[in-house]
Amino acid sequence: MTESRRAAALALIALFLSAAPAAATPKKLRVTLSGGSGERTIEAADLRFVFFHTRYRTTHVPAEENPTRERTEILSDRDDCACLRLADYSRIRFSIIREIEVRTAPGQAVASLRVVRMDGRTHEYPATALYGGDGLAPPLLMVTIDGVGREFPLVLPEGAAWPAEMLVRALLTRPPPPPKSGSHSH
C-alpha cells in the first residue's frame, strides 16, 4: 500500500470514528421533582421507561406436593428503554419527545402522563395505557441523578401512597436560546 493510499485510508477511518454517535454517553436532561419542600428542578443524566414481561412457567411436581401434579410460577423479567411503550406494543422514542409531565392525585392509584412531542403535538395517557400498566408488575420511570438511579412508580399497588418526592416533569430537550439582541445604532 502506498503512502498516499495509507494516509487516505487513515483519514477515512478517522472521519468515520468522529461521525459515530457516542452511545455510551447518556443524554442530559432537566427533571422537576415535587416533595414536601415544594418543587425543585435539577440536572439528570438519563431517563428510562421500565417495564416487566410477565411469564408463567408450569413444571411437573410429585402428587404429594400438588394433586394436579403441576406447579405454576409467575416470572417477571425487567426491561427498560429510552421510549414510552404503549399497551399495544407500539412505542414513542424519547428522541422525538420534548417533555413528559407526570400527574398524580392523592386519592388515585394511576398517574397520567402528558407527552409533548418535538413538533408540538400533545397526548395524554393514563399509566394503565402503557405496556404492563394493568399487569402484576406495573411500569415506572427511572431517572439517573448524581449517578444513582431513582425509580418513580406510575401505578400504585393497592393501599400504597405516592412517594414523598415524585417526578413531575422531565424536559428532554433544552429550549432554544433567546435571540441575541444587539444594539444597532442608526
Higher pLDDT, 12 or 140: 140
How much is the pLDDT for 25? 43
Question: According to the model, what pLDDT value does residue 97 have?
Answer: 94
Q: Is the pLDDT of residue 122 over 90?
A: yes
Residue 76: its pLDDT value, please?
Answer: 73
Instruction: Report the percent of the chain where pLDDT is more than 70.
Output: 79
pLDDT per residue as tens digits for the range 53-93: 778 888 998 988 888 889 888 877 889 999 999 999 899 99
Average pLDDT of 92-119? 93
Q: What is the mean pLDDT of the chain?
A: 82
Kindly report, residue by residue over 2-25, the tens digit of the pLDDT.
666 655 554 545 444 444 344 444
What mean pLDDT is predicted for residues 165-184? 75
> What is the SS3 assignment for the chain?
CCHHHHHHHHHHHHHHHHHCCCCCCCCCEEEEEEECCEEEEEEECEEEEEEEEEEEEEEECCCCCCCCCEEEEEEEEEEEECEEEECCCCEEEHHHEEEEEEECCCCCCECEEEEEECCCCEEEEEHHHECCCCCCCCCEEEEEECCEEEEEECECCCCCCCCCCEEEEEECCCCCCCCCCCCCCC
Please give the pLDDT value at position 174: 62
Enumerate the domain spans of the chain.
26-51+79-171
| pLDDT score at 18 | 45
Greater confidence (142 vs 55) lies with 142
Phi, psi of 107 (to 5 degrees): -90, 0
pTM confidence score? 0.70
Mean pLDDT of 156-163: 88
